[in-house]
Amino acid sequence: MDNMERLKAAIRGKKILLFGPPGCGKGNRSKDLEALGLVHVSSGIALRARVRDDPDSGLSKKAVNFMKRGELVPDDIVVPIIMEHLNREECRKKGFVLDGFPRTKAQADILFSQINIDLVLFLDVPRKFLLYGIIEGNRRVCVDCATGYSDFDPPRVEGVCDKCGGKLIRRTDDNIHTIENRLKLYDQQTKTFLQDIKKKANLEILPITVSDEDIIEDKYLKKLKGRVYWVQTDQGGKSRMLNLKGMRKRLYDLLAEKFATSVRRD
Ligand code: ADP
Ligand code: ZN
């Protein structure tokens, strides 16, 4: 069995929660975890799917109104959709990666009272990059598999998803006004219960930045027009950042350390 197979076996059935602000890479880390066999449950994707499948229902119309403005969809709509999903046979068997939920204290209380989460991963991205990555980096997502790209991590062929060949589009709510709103809501309603989660679950931080002492191969670093990109950190310094490949490696290394002590690391 190679390392990847060992990691898959060790991670099977695990319930992992991704936590972090809009634009921190929850979607792409979810894809990385999906590749290990977990079911990806995303509140944003689930809500958009519900609206697409049943556009004329009262529930869909109500949800759309909140989503268009970047506001939180009320708990009585989101909670049943997500909890139903997590209780499906597939999620119980294979395990899941939950992304975008909980976003309020009430959502967190329901989730943690009903489900035993094995690991919470906090995706730590400098504030400066959150807006920058989405707006200046021109974030685009695959309509079929939801993989995200930007000018920092461009697809091999513009407009086409590397993974599945799907079409890449810009999300209509990826505009400066909505994102500022989404970030504000994250600060006010979501970040505030991170301390609370820490008490209830096993929490690990997954930083996107690379410290100066870290020796990292060039192929793992974010670049813009061929040059290594430096970002201003929240502490005021400057740091290099990992690209999609680098973050996947960091994530898998962390999981191997946590769940599969027998996985050889190289
Ligand atoms: P992002 O994380 O980039 O803001 P998502 O795709 O997760 O995007 O969410 C898109 C929109 O769906 C949010 O702006 C919000 O309106 C709604 N939404 C998603 N998850 C939740 C949630 N857990 N609670 C309330 N609303 C949500
Ligand atoms: Zn795709």
pLDDT tens digits, residue range 184-227?
A: 999 998 999 998 999 989 999 999 999 888 889 999 999 998 89
Q: What is the pTM of this model?
A: 0.91
Sheet containing strand 148-149, strands side by side: 148-149, 140-142, 168-169
Place of tokens 């690990």: 204
Choosing from 139, 222, 240, 248, the catalytic residue is 139
Express each pLDDT in 23-40 by its tens digit.
999 999 999 999 999 999
pLDDT of residue 146: 86
Segment 90-131, tens digit of pLDDT = 999 999 999 999 999 999 999 999 999 999 999 999 998 998
d(CA 161, ligand 1 centre) in Å = 23
**Phi/psi at 127 (nearest 5 deg)?**
-50, -45
C-alpha dihedral, 198 to 118 to 44 to 126, nearest 10°: 50
CA–centroid distance, 99 to ligand 1, in Å, is 10
Q: Note if 29 is an active site residue.
A: no
* 103 in active site: yes
Q: CB of 101 closer than 6 A to ligand 1?
A: yes
Nearest to 130 by CA among 173, 183, 209: 183
CB count within 10 Å of CB 118 equals 16
Q: What is the pLDDT of residue 121?
A: 97
Confidence at residue 265, expressed as pLDDT on a 0 to 100 scale: 53
Q: Which atom of ligand 1 is nearest to the CA of 99?
A: 7
Report pLDDT digits (tens) over 142-184. 998 889 999 999 999 999 999 999 999 999 889 998 889 999 9
